[in-house]
Amino acid sequence: MRVLLVISLFFILANIRSIEAKINLDALRKATKGFKNGCIKATDVTEELVDGARRGEFPPDPNLMCYFNCISQKVKLVKNGKISADASIAQAHALVEESLAIQMINAINACAYTTEQEDPCKAAYDYSKCYWDYDSNLWFFP
Protein backbone atom coordinates (compact mmCIF):
# COMPACT_ATOMS: atom_id res chain seq x y z
CA MET A 1 0.00 0.00 0.00
CA ARG A 2 2.82 2.42 0.85
CA VAL A 3 4.58 1.63 -2.40
CA LEU A 4 1.41 2.50 -4.32
CA LEU A 5 1.06 5.73 -2.35
CA VAL A 6 4.70 6.70 -3.01
CA ILE A 7 4.37 5.93 -6.73
CA SER A 8 1.14 7.92 -6.95
CA LEU A 9 2.70 10.85 -5.13
CA PHE A 10 5.70 10.74 -7.47
CA PHE A 11 3.46 10.94 -10.57
CA ILE A 12 1.37 13.77 -9.09
CA LEU A 13 4.47 15.81 -8.29
CA ALA A 14 5.96 15.10 -11.70
CA ASN A 15 2.78 16.35 -13.38
CA ILE A 16 2.59 19.47 -11.23
CA ARG A 17 6.14 20.40 -12.23
CA SER A 18 5.27 20.08 -15.93
CA ILE A 19 2.25 22.39 -15.74
CA GLU A 20 3.06 25.76 -17.23
CA ALA A 21 1.08 28.79 -16.15
CA LYS A 22 0.63 30.86 -19.28
CA ILE A 23 -1.32 34.08 -19.41
CA ASN A 24 -4.10 35.38 -21.62
CA LEU A 25 -4.18 38.71 -23.45
CA ASP A 26 -5.89 40.60 -20.62
CA ALA A 27 -3.24 39.44 -18.17
CA LEU A 28 -0.49 40.41 -20.63
CA ARG A 29 -1.98 43.89 -20.95
CA LYS A 30 -2.07 44.23 -17.17
CA ALA A 31 1.50 42.95 -16.87
CA THR A 32 2.86 45.51 -19.33
CA LYS A 33 0.87 48.43 -17.90
CA GLY A 34 3.59 49.10 -15.33
CA PHE A 35 6.08 50.01 -18.06
CA LYS A 36 4.02 52.89 -19.45
CA ASN A 37 4.95 55.72 -17.07
CA GLY A 38 8.65 54.89 -17.03
CA CYS A 39 8.83 54.83 -20.81
CA ILE A 40 6.81 58.06 -21.08
CA LYS A 41 9.31 59.76 -18.76
CA ALA A 42 12.32 58.23 -20.52
CA THR A 43 11.19 59.39 -23.96
CA ASP A 44 9.33 62.66 -23.26
CA VAL A 45 6.38 61.43 -25.30
CA THR A 46 2.98 62.83 -24.37
CA GLU A 47 0.42 60.55 -22.81
CA GLU A 48 -2.03 61.66 -25.52
CA LEU A 49 0.20 60.19 -28.24
CA VAL A 50 0.60 56.94 -26.31
CA ASP A 51 -3.14 56.66 -25.72
CA GLY A 52 -3.77 57.48 -29.38
CA ALA A 53 -1.63 54.51 -30.43
CA ARG A 54 -3.99 52.25 -28.46
CA ARG A 55 -6.70 53.56 -30.82
CA GLY A 56 -4.59 52.96 -33.93
CA GLU A 57 -3.23 56.49 -34.27
CA PHE A 58 0.48 56.41 -35.13
CA PRO A 59 1.75 59.90 -36.00
CA PRO A 60 5.45 59.83 -36.96
CA ASP A 61 6.56 61.52 -33.74
CA PRO A 62 10.20 60.78 -32.75
CA ASN A 63 9.30 60.54 -29.05
CA LEU A 64 6.48 58.10 -29.77
CA MET A 65 8.90 56.04 -31.84
CA CYS A 66 11.33 55.87 -28.91
CA TYR A 67 8.46 55.05 -26.55
CA PHE A 68 7.81 51.91 -28.59
CA ASN A 69 11.50 51.08 -28.44
CA CYS A 70 11.48 51.52 -24.66
CA ILE A 71 8.43 49.26 -24.23
CA SER A 72 9.95 46.70 -26.60
CA GLN A 73 13.08 46.59 -24.46
CA LYS A 74 11.05 46.22 -21.25
CA VAL A 75 9.09 43.25 -22.63
CA LYS A 76 12.29 41.71 -24.00
CA LEU A 77 11.55 41.96 -27.72
CA VAL A 78 15.00 43.47 -28.30
CA LYS A 79 18.16 41.48 -28.96
CA ASN A 80 21.55 43.10 -29.59
CA GLY A 81 19.93 46.53 -29.56
CA LYS A 82 17.33 45.78 -32.22
CA ILE A 83 13.77 44.48 -32.31
CA SER A 84 14.07 40.76 -32.90
CA ALA A 85 11.39 38.54 -34.39
CA ASP A 86 13.14 35.56 -32.77
CA ALA A 87 13.06 37.21 -29.33
CA SER A 88 9.41 38.16 -29.86
CA ILE A 89 8.50 34.60 -30.80
CA ALA A 90 10.38 33.23 -27.80
CA GLN A 91 8.49 35.60 -25.50
CA ALA A 92 5.15 34.59 -27.04
CA HIS A 93 5.93 30.91 -26.50
CA ALA A 94 7.15 31.51 -22.95
CA LEU A 95 4.43 33.81 -21.67
CA VAL A 96 1.06 33.39 -23.34
CA GLU A 97 -1.46 30.63 -23.88
CA GLU A 98 -0.75 28.50 -26.96
CA SER A 99 -3.75 29.67 -29.02
CA LEU A 100 -2.78 33.30 -28.39
CA ALA A 101 0.89 32.60 -29.05
CA ILE A 102 0.02 31.24 -32.51
CA GLN A 103 -1.90 34.41 -33.38
CA MET A 104 0.88 36.61 -32.06
CA ILE A 105 3.55 34.68 -33.94
CA ASN A 106 1.61 35.14 -37.17
CA ALA A 107 1.64 38.91 -36.55
CA ILE A 108 5.33 38.83 -35.59
CA ASN A 109 6.25 36.99 -38.77
CA ALA A 110 4.14 39.35 -40.89
CA CYS A 111 5.94 42.35 -39.37
CA ALA A 112 9.48 41.00 -39.09
CA TYR A 113 10.58 42.91 -42.20
CA THR A 114 10.09 46.22 -40.36
CA THR A 115 12.89 45.47 -37.89
CA GLU A 116 15.73 45.71 -40.42
CA GLN A 117 16.49 49.39 -39.84
CA GLU A 118 19.43 51.19 -38.31
CA ASP A 119 17.34 53.50 -36.11
CA PRO A 120 15.99 51.33 -33.25
CA CYS A 121 13.22 53.81 -32.44
CA LYS A 122 11.96 53.89 -36.04
CA ALA A 123 12.17 50.09 -36.25
CA ALA A 124 10.17 49.70 -33.02
CA TYR A 125 7.60 52.22 -34.28
CA ASP A 126 7.20 50.51 -37.68
CA TYR A 127 7.04 47.09 -36.03
CA SER A 128 4.39 48.29 -33.56
CA LYS A 129 2.32 49.97 -36.28
CA CYS A 130 2.53 46.86 -38.46
CA TYR A 131 1.49 44.69 -35.51
CA TRP A 132 -1.54 46.95 -34.89
CA ASP A 133 -2.45 46.93 -38.58
CA TYR A 134 -2.11 43.15 -38.73
CA ASP A 135 -4.55 42.56 -35.85
CA SER A 136 -5.43 45.35 -33.43
CA ASN A 137 -7.15 42.83 -31.17
CA LEU A 138 -3.71 41.45 -30.28
CA TRP A 139 -2.39 44.86 -29.13
CA PHE A 140 -0.92 44.65 -25.65
CA PHE A 141 1.40 47.66 -25.38
CA PRO A 142 0.37 50.04 -22.60
CATH number of the domain within which 51 lies: 1.10.238.20
Separation between Cα atoms, residue 98 and residue 95, nearest integer Å: 9
Specify if 88 maps to a domain: yes
Q: Residue 128 is part of which domain span?
A: 21-138
Phi, psi of 23 (to 5 degrees): -105, 160
| Overall number of domains in the chain | 1
Given a cut of 60, whether residue 70 has pLDDT beyond it is yes
pLDDT in tens, 24-65: 999 999 999 999 999 999 999 999 999 999 999 999 999 999
Whether residue 11 is contained in a domain is answered as: no
pLDDT at 86: 93
Residue 12 lies in a domain: no
